[in-house]
Amino acid sequence: MATPVDLLQNVSLFKDLSAAELQTINGIAQVQTYAAGDQVFGEGDPADALYVIKFGSVRISHSARDNEVDIAQLGSGSHFGEMSFVDGEPRSATVEVLEKSELVRIGFTELKALFGKQPGIAVKAYQSLAHFLCRRLRVTTTDLSFARERKSARHS
């Protein structure tokens, strides 16, 4: 089984960090176990951590009008909860565990303190985060364009 440092190395947010820097991040991380059906956090909740899935899977959903919309299902090695680290806003979605899972929790307070002490780690992590969020935005833009094309084709 992969060590926490191996896991972090394979996460896009931390892929550019050295082994020593990954060990430093690992020092502030906590592994938490969740059962199927547990909620990691709810939409609108205050945000205080980002998560990496050590093993297992989660469902991310968002409330839209009168129903809940599935945003994504993530599995081992994926991360979530990073947007609030950047913008300080409450959670934009609900995350529910789909099966027994272990999540690596990295607290925002500890991560910001670490970045303050070791700005080299911060630069690498923020750059990776920016690339990750840009990729996510490009996918969202493509999805929205496709949905609009389908909608206008149906109404033509």
Across the chain, mean pLDDT equals 89
Look at 19-28, 96-105, 111-120, 132-141 and tell me which has the smallest mean pLDDT.
132-141
- What's the predicted TM-score (pTM) here? 0.85
Residue 1 or 103, more confident: 103
How far apart are alpha carbons 143 and 152 in whole angstroms?
14
C-alpha 105 chain-centroid distance: 10
1 pLDDT more than 60: no
Query: What is the spatial order of strands in the sheet that 57-64 belongs to?
Result: 39-41, 94-97, 57-64, 67-75
Which domains are seen in the chain, by residue range? Answer: 4-154 (2.60.120.10)
pLDDT band per the 50, 70, 90 thresholds, residue 130 = confident
How far apart are alpha carbons 67 and 40 in whole angstroms?
20
4 pLDDT more than 70: no
pLDDT band per the 50, 70, 90 thresholds, residue 48 = very high
The C-alpha R_g of the chain, in whole angstroms, comes to 17
Look at 16-25, 94-103, 133-142 and tell me which has the smallest mean pLDDT.
133-142
Look at 4-13, 20-29, 79-88, 122-131 and tell me which has the smallest mean pLDDT.
4-13
pLDDT band per the 50, 70, 90 thresholds, residue 13 = confident
Q: Are strands 57-64 and 67-75 parallel, antiparallel or unpaired?
A: antiparallel
Residue type at 149 in one-letter notation:
E
Q: Would you state the structure tokens that stand for residue 27, as one six-digit string?
A: 């020092």
What is the secondary structure of 121-147 as a DSSP string?
HHHHHHHHHHHHHHHHHHHHHHHHHHH
67-113 tens-digit pLDDT: 888 988 999 989 999 989 989 999 999 999 999 999 999 999 999 99
Say which DSSP state 81 is in: -
How far apart are alpha carbons 74 and 80 in whole angstroms?
9
